[in-house]
C-alpha cells in the first residue's frame, strides 16, 4: 500500500471515496445494527472485488458485473442465504446511489439471487423442549471432589442460573429474535400485564404477550438475580447481562442454550418452535405474523409447511394402517 494511504473497512480509502460508503453507512442508521454491519461489510467486499477488476466507481457498474459477482460468490462456496443477503445489500446501495444522483440508472433493478432458504425451520420436540426449559438443575453445585464455592460465588452462580431460566423461557414464550432479547430494556417489561416490548428489524417496536411462567422467572431475575451481578459500568436499562456486567450478547445466548439443550440447538430454534406450536394449536396465521414481527405474511407461511410435515410424521408413526 502506498505511504499515507488509509483503509476503510479493509479497502483503500482512495478506492472507497467515489463510492461514498460512509454516507451510505449513515443512511443505513435506521436499520437494525446487525443489518447495518452486514450491509456495510457486504459493500466493502464488493468494492474491493470490483477494484481488482478495474471498476472504481458506482457509475461503472453494470447489471452484468453484478451477476458475475453473485456467480463468483457461489463458486466460492457461500451459502445461499449469504448470497441473497449480499444481493439485498447491493440493491439497497444502488437504489440509494440512484436517488442521490450518483448514477443515471440502477443496475441492480432486476438483480436476483438464490432463495435464502431451501429447508424448513428446525423445531424442537416436546421432550427436547422440556429438557431445555426445565433441565437447568441446581446452580452452584460443586463438581464431585471439589470444595463448595464460597457464599458470594455461589450467590452469583445462582443469579446467572435465574437469568438462564429467564432467557430460554422468554425466547420460547414470546418467539423474539436473539438480537431483540439482547437489546431488551427494563422499560420494555410490563410484567403486571404480561407483555414485553422489543425493538425489531427496521427499528419497529412490537408488544408481545408472555405466559405466566415466563413472567415469574423474569420477575425473579430482575428483582433478585440482576442486582447481584450488575456493576458500576452496567447499562442501567439492560435486562440481561453477561458475566462482565455488560449487556448480554448473541454469543452469550448461544452458550446458555448450548449448556441446557440435550441436542445441538441454535437459539433461533425456540422462535421456530413457538411459531409452529401456536399454529398447531389453531392460532391465526396473521396473529403469529404480528407476534413474530414479520413484514410479510409469506415469511410466516413457512411455519404452516412445518406443521404439515409434523402432521404427516405423526400420522405415519401412529396410524395403525399408515
Any domain includes 120: no
Q: Which residues pair with 238 in a beta bridge?
A: 185
Q: Is 177 a catalytic residue?
A: yes
How many Cα atoms occupy the beta-carbon half-sphere of 253 within 13 Å?
24
The grid coordinates of residue 97 equal 446511489
Phi and psi angles of residue 190, each rounded to the nearest 5 degrees, phi first: -120, 75
Give mean pLDDT, residues 258-278: 90
Per-residue pLDDT band for 32 (boundaries 50, 70, 90) equals confident
What average pLDDT does the chain have?
A: 85
195-199/205-209 β-pairing: antiparallel
Q: Is 294 a catalytic residue?
A: yes
* 64 pLDDT more than 50: yes
Single out the catalytic residue among 67, 80, 255, 268. Answer: 268
Any domain includes 117: no
Any domain includes 11: yes
Cα–Cα distance between 157 and 78 in angstroms, integer? 40
Pair (88, 156) in one structural domain: no
* 149 pLDDT more than 50: yes
Query: Which carries the bigger pLDDT value, residue 304 or residue 189?
Result: 189
* 3 pLDDT more than 90: no
Give me the pLDDT at residue 143, please: 46
Pair (281, 141) in one structural domain: yes
Single out the catalytic residue among 91, 260, 271, 272. Answer: 271
Whether 162 and 221 have beta carbons less than 8 Å apart is answered as: yes
Pair (294, 166) in one structural domain: yes
Pair (168, 301) in one structural domain: yes
Give me the pLDDT at residue 196, please: 97
Pair (81, 152) in one structural domain: no
Single out the catalytic residue among 80, 201, 206, 310. Answer: 201
Whether 50 and 16 have beta carbons less than 8 Å apart is answered as: no
Give mean pLDDT, residues 11-20: 69
Pair (159, 305) in one structural domain: yes
* 307 pLDDT more than 50: yes
Query: Which carries the bigger pLDDT value, residue 56 or residue 1?
Result: 56
Name the domain count of the chain. Answer: 2
Q: Is 204 a catalytic residue?
A: no
* 293 pLDDT more than 60: yes
Pair (283, 137) in one structural domain: yes
- Looking up residue 42, the CATH number of its domain turns out to be 1.10.150
Cα–Cα distance between 113 and 69 in angstroms, integer? 11
Cα–Cα distance between 43 and 38 in angstroms, integer? 9
- Looking up residue 184, the CATH number of its domain turns out to be 1.10.443.10
Any domain includes 107: no
Pair (253, 158) in one structural domain: yes
Beta strands in the chain (DSSP E): 7-8, 11-12, 189-190, 195-199, 205-209
Task: From residue 268, give the alpha-carbon distance in Å to each of 152, 164, 230, 251.
Answer: 33, 16, 27, 12
Cα–Cα distance between 287 and 156 in angstroms, integer? 39
Q: Is 86 a catalytic residue?
A: no
Domain carrying residue 66: 7-100
For the segment 225-254, what is each residue's pLDDT rounded down to a tens digit? 999 999 999 999 999 999 999 999 999 999
Cα–Cα distance between 257 and 260 in angstroms, integer? 5
Pair (39, 143) in one structural domain: no
For the segment 171-228, what is each residue's pLDDT rounded down to a tens digit? 999 999 999 999 999 999 999 999 999 999 888 899 999 999 999 999 999 999 999 9
For the chain, the maximum distance between any two Cα atoms, rounded to a whole number of angstroms, is 78
Q: Is 272 a catalytic residue?
A: no
Per-residue pLDDT band for 1 (boundaries 50, 70, 90) equals very low
For the segment 151-169, what is each residue's pLDDT rounded down to a tens digit? 888 999 999 999 999 999 9
pTM for the full predicted model: 0.63
For the segment 70-121, what is each residue's pLDDT rounded down to a tens digit? 988 888 888 888 888 899 999 999 999 999 999 999 999 878 775 555 555 6
Give me the pLDDT at residue 110, please: 77
Pair (93, 17) in one structural domain: yes
Single out the catalytic residue among 86, 91, 177, 226. Answer: 177
Amino acid at each position: 500500500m502506498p505511504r499515507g494511504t488509509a483503509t476503510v473497512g479493509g479497502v483503500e480509502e482512495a478506492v472507497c471515496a467515489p463510492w461514498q460508503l460512509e454516507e451510505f453507512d449513515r443512511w443505513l442508521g435506521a436499520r437494525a445494527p446487525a443489518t447495518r454491519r452486514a450491509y456495510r461489510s457486504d459493500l466493502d467486499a464488493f468494492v474491493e472485488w470490483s477494484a481488482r477488476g478495474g471498476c472504481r466507481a458506482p457509475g461503472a457498474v453494470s447489471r452484468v458485473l453484478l451477476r458475475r459477482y453473485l456467480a463468483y460468490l457461489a463458486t466460492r462456496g457461500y451459502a445461499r442465504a449469504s448470497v441473497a443477503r449480499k444481493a439485498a445489500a447491493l440493491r439497497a446501495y444502488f437504489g440509494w446511489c440512484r436517488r442521490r444522483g450518483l448514477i443515471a440508472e440502477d443496475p441492480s433493478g432486476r438483480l436476483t439471487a438464490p432463495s435464502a432458504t431451501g429447508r424448513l425451520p428446525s423445531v424442537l420436540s416436546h421432550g427436547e423442549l422440556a429438557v431445555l426449559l426445565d433441565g437447568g438443575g441446581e446452580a452452584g453445585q460443586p463438581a464431585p471432589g471439589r470444595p463448595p464455592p464460597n457464599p458470594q460465588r455461589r450467590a452469583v452462580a445462582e443469579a446467572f442460573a435465574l437469568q438462564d431460566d429467564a432467557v430460554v423461557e422468554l425466547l420460547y414464550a414470546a418467539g423474539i429474535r436473539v438480537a431483540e432479547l439482547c437489546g431488551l430494556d427494563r422499560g420494555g417489561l410490563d410484567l403486571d400485564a404480561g407483555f414485553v416490548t422489543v425493538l425489531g428489524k427496521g427499528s419497529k417496536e412490537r408488544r408481545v404477550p408472555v405466559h405466566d411462567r415466563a413472567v415469574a422467572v423474569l420477575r425473579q431475575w430482575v428483582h433478585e438475580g440482576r442486582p447481584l451481578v450488575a456493576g458500576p459500568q452496567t447499562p442501567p436499562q439492560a435486562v440481561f447481562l453477561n458475566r462482565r456486567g455488560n449487556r448480554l450478547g448473541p454469543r452469550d445466548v448461544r452458550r446458555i442454550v448450548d449448556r441446557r439443550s440435550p441436542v445441538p440447538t441454535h437459539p433461533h430454534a425456540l422462535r421456530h418452535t413457538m411459531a409452529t406450536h401456536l399454529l398447531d394449536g389453531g392460532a391465526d396465521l396473521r396473529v403469529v405474523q404480528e407476534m413474530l414481527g414479520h413484514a410479510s405474511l409469506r415469511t410466516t407461511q413457512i411455519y404452516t409447511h412445518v406443521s404439515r410435515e409434523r402432521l404427516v410424521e405423526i400420522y405415519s408413526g401412529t396410524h395403525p394402517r399408515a
